[in-house]
Amino acid sequence: MQKIIPSVWCAGNADDMAAFYAATLPDTRIVHSDRYPTEGLLDFQQAMAGKTITIDLSIGGFRLNLLNGGDEFTPNPSISFMVDFDPAAYDGEHAARAALDHAWIGLAESGTILIPLGEYPYSPRYGWVQDRYGVSWQLMLAPEGGRLRPPVVPSLMFCGANQNRASEALNAYVDLFGGQLGTMAPYAEQTGPAAAGALMFGDAELGGQWFAAMDSGMEQDYTFSEGLSLIVNCADQEEIDRLWGVLSQHPDAEQCGWCRDAYGVSWQVVPQNMPELLAAPGAFGAMLQMKKIVIADLHA
């Protein structure tokens, strides 16, 4: 089971988004969906009664969650998804390029190009695009014979109030989840708001999953938000308590298992059988009253 699942906040359009990604991204399918209950909702959720609440997608085996809500939050490029098109996973470089170009055309339509698709020193074909729903994707063609990477790697960009904290955050996450640092490439000199020695690119394996991070080399008008959060599936209450104690650093952000860490990243710290627990009568309403999830209270 994937330990950490990115979750995209959707403005009531999760079904449309799921269909779009299934048609646009390689090897993508819907693996699970749940609906809002018809009673016990808060006032702002009444319009969603009986409608889709979450959809889980598989992108080449990588799980991505779509969460239906209102228009309170929107995703932004502070968290993007690096999609690796490795010739070793396709029928050679030509097929990998064709798959990348197909995904790029779909994602760029009615979207915003952040870095144009082209050849760069780090990839023979690369581009960064924010799609029509505000979700950002970095598409990369891996060089022949290069390191085989996971099909999708979440990438955190530290900017604004969190500028120049990428290396600190990666080390903290490795300590919390276990794992190891990978590539750590610093800026050689001051680059925009990025100080010399700040992280130009880095990655780390966290509990069996790879994440990337960087300090922005340009001033940005956004930072981490609830628009794109990270779900942590916990084995039991002890693990929930341990992770919550470290990740929750902003009491005003605590609600229904959600919290915000010292770097501004939003997390959902939940039991791994959360859908099963919420299926019990009254459990959804009980969860809405919680800050940290207490499994025993959901059972009750």
Residues 115, 119, 122: CA angle, nearest 5 degrees: 85
What's the N-to-C CA distance of the chain in angstroms? 26
C-alpha span between 146 and 144 (Å, rounded): 6
Domains present along the chain, CATH in parentheses: 4-72+226-299 (3.10.180.10), 79-215 (3.30.720.110)
C-alpha span between 236 and 287 (Å, rounded): 16
C-alpha span between 234 and 131 (Å, rounded): 31
C-alpha span between 217 and 164 (Å, rounded): 10
pTM assigned to the model:
0.94
Q: Tell me, what's the pLDDT at 266?
A: 98
C-alpha span between 103 and 187 (Å, rounded): 31
Please provide residue 246's backbone torsions phi and psi, each rounded to the nearest 5 degrees: -95, -45
Are 210 and 182 contacting, i.e. CB atoms less than 8 angstroms apart?
Answer: yes
Instruction: Tell the burial category of 72 from Cβ atoms under 10 Å away from its Cβ (0-12, 13-18, 19+).
Output: exposed
CB atoms within 10 A of CB 125: 19
Task: List Cα–Cα distances, 180 to 5, 150, 229, 232, 237, in angstroms.
Answer: 19, 16, 22, 18, 25
Q: Tell me, what's the pLDDT at 80?
A: 98
Q: pLDDT 10s digit of each residue in the chain, 300 long?
A: 799 999 999 999 999 999 999 999 999 999 999 887 777 666 766 777 778 989 999 999 999 999 998 889 999 999 999 999 999 888 889 999 999 999 999 999 999 999 999 999 989 999 999 999 999 999 999 876 655 678 999 999 999 999 999 999 999 999 999 999 999 999 999 999 999 999 999 999 999 999 999 999 999 999 999 999 999 999 999 999 999 999 999 999 999 999 999 999 999 999 999 988 888 888 888 898 999 999 999 887
Instruction: Tell the burial category of 159 from Cβ atoms under 10 Å away from its Cβ (0-12, 13-18, 19+).
Output: buried
